[in-house]
């Protein structure tokens, strides 16, 4: 069967690999659409320290169950549309012991610490298969990145009526915008791209700030009557936006960090103390976050078409990733179709 393999930085190939066999407790899925995550792009660009090349990327999945092994629960049947939970957890580290399996110290995400599923078929333990009936296989490929944004809103303990600033309106940030709005918060979306901001407003943001064109601090003070945001969610991973998060959060507010910054960030740590901030990391997503995204997509309220920027054949991967790297502000998701 066909698979997309990143051989070395900037070099990707369609390779022929053996089709896996389904064993007891396992499910074979036929991949239909697999989304390229920002982490896959970084792998292609040679900037992902967590990856050892060569690797098959891909962990954002729209698939259909092909076959089930012995001992798989009745509810999971061939023909069902599903997505995958692409994370593993060891069961014994501190995170696992605390039930926070999404942050397992030894997590191996598909396509990052182990081979992913940019291929025709994959076999996984049944526990990793998430039914998503009523959602098309294409749209299923958007569930995982959105669920990461949903999880950040849980980490921020967002309440109705709170001002929630979401910095960065890519797929993950957009998930945070949606979830915060669903919880009744007043969402302020921040990005450098007007198209993304317009979409964030369609997805539930009340306010939009283009940080290239406007004075973010002045606008935030105006919008929040001088109080600052109750919660700031950083979904970029840039030193500038990390500092912005700590500056724009109000006194006694919460800052939720999703973005991976590639360099060190310096802060005025007195702000942590003076504001008595809660600064919380947010990593991956919990099973409940996946289910919440599935419910949201089923509701029909998601403006989903603009999130699919491009659908490619496996052979077009290098071209598509190079285009994405050249204009990162314009892409939500590129999906490989198998
Ligand atoms: Zn991802
Ligand atoms: Zn663990």
Write out the E strands in the chain.
2-8, 11-16, 26-35, 60-68, 81-84, 121-125, 129-131, 163-167, 186-191, 207-210, 229-234, 249-257, 278-281, 308-312, 333-337
Mean pLDDT over the full length of the chain? 97
Helices 171-182, 194-202: axis angle to 10 degrees equals: 30
User: Contact 166/180 with Cβ under 8 angstroms?
Assistant: yes
Measured in Å, residue 144 CA sits from the centre of ligand 2 at: 20
pLDDT band of residue 52 (cuts 50, 70, 90) is very high
DSSP class of residue 55 equals: B
Name the residue ranges covered by the structural domains of the chain.
Answer: 2-142+304-337, 148-281
CA distance linking residue 147 with residue 164, whole number of Å: 17
pLDDT band of residue 49 (cuts 50, 70, 90) is confident
**241-295, pLDDT tens digit by residue?**
999 999 999 999 999 999 988 899 999 999 999 999 999 999 999 999 999 999 9
Measured in Å, residue 103 CA sits from the centre of ligand 2 at: 7
Do 2-142+304-337 and 148-281 fold alike per CATH? no
CA distance linking residue 195 with residue 148, whole number of Å: 22
pTM, two decimal places: 0.96
**91-104, pLDDT tens digit by residue?**
999 999 999 999 99
Measured in Å, residue 251 CA sits from the centre of ligand 1 at: 32
Q: pLDDT value at position 257?
A: 98
pLDDT greater than 90 at residue 50: no
- Specify the CATH architecture of the domain 2-142+304-337: Alpha-Beta Complex (3.90)
Q: Which tokens hold the place of 51?
A: 């990856």
Q: pLDDT value at position 183?
A: 98
Among the bound ligands, the one closest to the CA of 143: 1
Among the bound ligands, the one closest to the CA of 35: 1
Among the bound ligands, the one closest to the CA of 111: 1
Measured in Å, residue 155 CA sits from the centre of ligand 1 at: 18
Q: pLDDT value at position 295?
A: 97
Measured in Å, residue 144 CA sits from the centre of ligand 1 at: 7
Q: Which tokens hold the place of 149?
A: 């944004």
Length of the chain: 338
CA distance linking residue 299 with residue 321, whole number of Å: 32
> What secondary structure does DSSP assign to 153-188, as a single string?
HHHTT--TT-EEEEE--SHHHHHHHHHHHHTT-EEE
**Residue-wise burial string across 205-223, b where 16 or more C-beta atoms lie within 10 A, e elsewhere:** bebbbbbeeeebeebbeeb
Q: pLDDT value at position 262?
A: 85
Q: pLDDT value at position 214?
A: 98
Q: pLDDT value at position 328?
A: 85
Measured in Å, residue 106 CA sits from the centre of ligand 2 at: 5
Please compute the mean of the pLDDT values over residues 36-59 and round it to a whole number: 94
pLDDT greater than 90 at residue 43: yes
- Specify the CATH architecture of the domain 148-281: 3-Layer(aba) Sandwich (3.40)
pLDDT greater than 90 at residue 330: no
Among the bound ligands, the one closest to the CA of 61: 1
Please compute the mean of the pLDDT values over residues 79-94 and round it to a whole number: 97
Measured in Å, residue 211 CA sits from the centre of ligand 1 at: 25
DSSP-based three-state secondary structure for 29: strand
Among the bound ligands, the one closest to the CA of 260: 1
Please compute the mean of the pLDDT values over residues 128-143 and round it to a whole number: 97
């Amino acid at each position: 069967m066909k698979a997309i393999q990143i051989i070395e930085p900037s070099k990707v190939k369609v390779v022929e690999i053996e089709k896996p066999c389904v064993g007891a407790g396992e499910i074979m899925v036929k991949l239909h659409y697999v989304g390229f995550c920002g982490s896959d792009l970084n792998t292609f660009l040679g900037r992902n320290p967590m990856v050892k090349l060569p690797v098959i990327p891909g962990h954002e999945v729209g698939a259909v169950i092909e076959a089930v092994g012995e001992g798989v629960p009745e509810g999971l049947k061939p023909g069902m549309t599903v997505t995958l939970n692409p994370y593993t957890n060891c069961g014994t580290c501190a995170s696992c012991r605390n039930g926070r399996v999404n942050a397992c110290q030894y997590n191996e995400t598909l396509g990052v610490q182990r081979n992913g599923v940019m291929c025709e078929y994959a076999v996984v333990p049944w526990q990793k298969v998430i039914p998503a009936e009523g959602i098309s296989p294409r749209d299923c490929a958007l569930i995982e990145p959105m669920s990461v944004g949903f999880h950040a809103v849980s980490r921020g303990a967002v309440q109705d009526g709170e001002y929630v600033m979401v910095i960065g309106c890519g797929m993950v940030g957009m998930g945070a915008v949606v979830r915060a709005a669903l919880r009744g918060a007043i969402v302020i979306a921040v990005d450098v791209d007007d198209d993304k901001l317009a979409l964030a407003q369609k997805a539930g943001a009340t306010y939009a700030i283009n940080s290239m064109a406007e004075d973010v601090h002045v606008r935030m003070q105006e919008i929040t009557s001088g109080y600052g945001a109750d919660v700031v969610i950083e979904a970029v991973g840039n030193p500038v936006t990390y500092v912005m998060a700590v500056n724009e959060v109000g006194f006694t507010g919460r800052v939720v960090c999703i973005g991976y910054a590639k360099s060190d960030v310096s802060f005025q740590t007195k702000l942590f103390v003076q504001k008595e901030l809660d600064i919380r990391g947010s990593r991956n997503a919990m099973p409940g976050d996946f289910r919440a995204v599935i419910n949201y997509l089923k509701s029909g309220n998601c403006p989903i078409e603009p999130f699919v920027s491009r659908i490619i054949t496996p052979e077009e991967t290098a071209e598509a990733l190079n285009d994405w790297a050249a204009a990162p502000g314009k892409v939500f998701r590129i999906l490989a179709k198998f």
